[in-house]
Amino acid sequence: MSAPPVPYMRHQCHGCGHASAATDFRVCPGCGGPLSLESLARPPRAIFEQRPESLWHYRELLPIPEGVAPVTLGEGATPAIEADRLRARFGLNRLLLKNETGNPTGSFKDRQVSVGITHARHIGASTVVAMSSGNVACSASAYAARAGMRAIVLVHGHAAPAKLRQAAAYGGQVVRVPTDSSREVIDLCIRASEEFGWYHLTTAGMHERYNVEGAKTIAYELYQQTGGDLPEWVVVPVGGGGLLGAVWRGFEDLVRLGLIDRCPRLCGVQPRECAPLAQAIDRGWGFRESLAHPWPAPKTIAGGLADDILFDGHTALPAIRETNGLAITVSEGEILEGMRLLAATEGILCEPSSAVVVAALAKLPPESNGVCCVITGSGIKDLDAFAGSAAGPYPAATTLDEFRALTGGAG
């Protein structure tokens, strides 16, 4: 299965600068590194003035040719809300939350899977296979159902049980691979896709460069939702680094189109227990060196971030370096506290893999001029992570006196 060229897209290497319209290279013919897509399209300014109904509003910047029907459940077009109570808690002058929990299956991965599965169907695939810690499993299974296709999801040891039940409910075939290494599961995925002719839908840009394009639309939406008055920082969770790289490339599209002068500073956040991005930044490593140093035995409650290597390091590392950004790590305790704080101050229940961005707010430079946190996935899928009072047991009452004793009564 190879894709017909899309006239306005180039396949570009961030390593040696190679760029071409040809679609049949799996890796860069110049240096053997991964390729990513780059749009040359110049859509009318009006698309940034009309409110989007889904990410397909921006289809001229996506790698799906005109006339191809998207596989869509209404993904994207998520709210960006001012978070005044949380802002005050951290002494910030402005805090926006880009709330991705409202996507059709509860995470930002729907943006990527909608684009990826549309591409898969367009080139004639009937089965998709993906490695997942849970969110991609749900998304791939739901969108495959929508498209009348078959989804097979390979999950590693960090997957939350509720996510696997959700994926299976959509009809996805869930297969456990008993390892803690994302790299090993992806290798198996790639071999299965080659042997059986399945479309490889894993959201790891170094192996599959189409689906990650869907995540760029978060940058386009933020530009519109702020009227172009973007915050100094955009803070995103990092597992393989695909979201970080995509948000950077989305803002770079806006620079190319003359809509903004420069990309906001980008901050990638990882659990301290699995931090290959922070390690590569600290040590000055490039993509190849980072690949040569997988994180040994990741162990974190943020299962969506438990990737032992940066599958999108070719875009995630320059996203930090070229925007004068930061890679921040947070402890397991800080992640749980971030999850509790976001729910209790702003009414948004996120999963541990999203809560890292709340924990990072205390670690940004104090003079920061505006921050946007991307809240990537719903906590409803991972409630077992919740400890403390929210986990129960809950007291019982049947009389008014008992209610008064429990709650303090009026007020």
Place of tokens 């939702």: 225
Question: In the beta sheet, which residues pair with residue 267?
Answer: 235, 326
Q: Using omega within 30 degrees of 0 as the cis cutoff, is the peptide bond preceding 393 cis?
A: yes
Cβ-based nearer residue to Zn ion, 8 or 25: 25
Q: Least Å distance between CB 14 and Zn ion?
A: 8
Q: How far is the CB of 33 from Zn ion (least distance, A)?
A: 5
Q: How far is the CB of 206 from Zn ion (least distance, A)?
A: 12
Contacts 24+ apart (CB under 8 A), 287-291: 287/14, 287/15, 287/33, 287/34, 287/313, 287/314, 287/317, 288/33, 290/317
Q: Nearest distance from residue 111's CB to Zn ion, in Å?
A: 27
User: Closest distance between Zn ion and the C-beta of residue 269, in Å?
Assistant: 29
- Whose Cβ is closer to Zn ion: residue 5's or residue 30's? 30
Q: Which is nearer to Zn ion, 220 or 287 (by Cβ)?
A: 287
Q: Where are the alpha helices (DSSP H) in 197-241?
A: 217-225
Give CA–CA dist 371/359, Å, rounded: 13
Q: Which is nearer to Zn ion, 18 or 272 (CB)?
A: 18
Residue type, 143: Y
Query: Taking the complex as a whole, how short is the minimal distance between the CB of residue 21 and Zn ion, in angstroms?
Result: 16
Interface residue list for Zn ion (CB under 5 A): 13, 15-16, 18, 28, 30-31, 33
Q: How far, in whole angstroms, is CA 343 from its chain's centroid?
A: 20
| Residue 11 or 158 having the CB closest to Zn ion | 11
Q: Which is nearer to Zn ion, 31 or 387 (CB)?
A: 31
SS (H, E, C) 294-338: CCCCCCCCCHHHCCCCCCCHHHHHHHHHCCCCEEEEECHHHHHHH
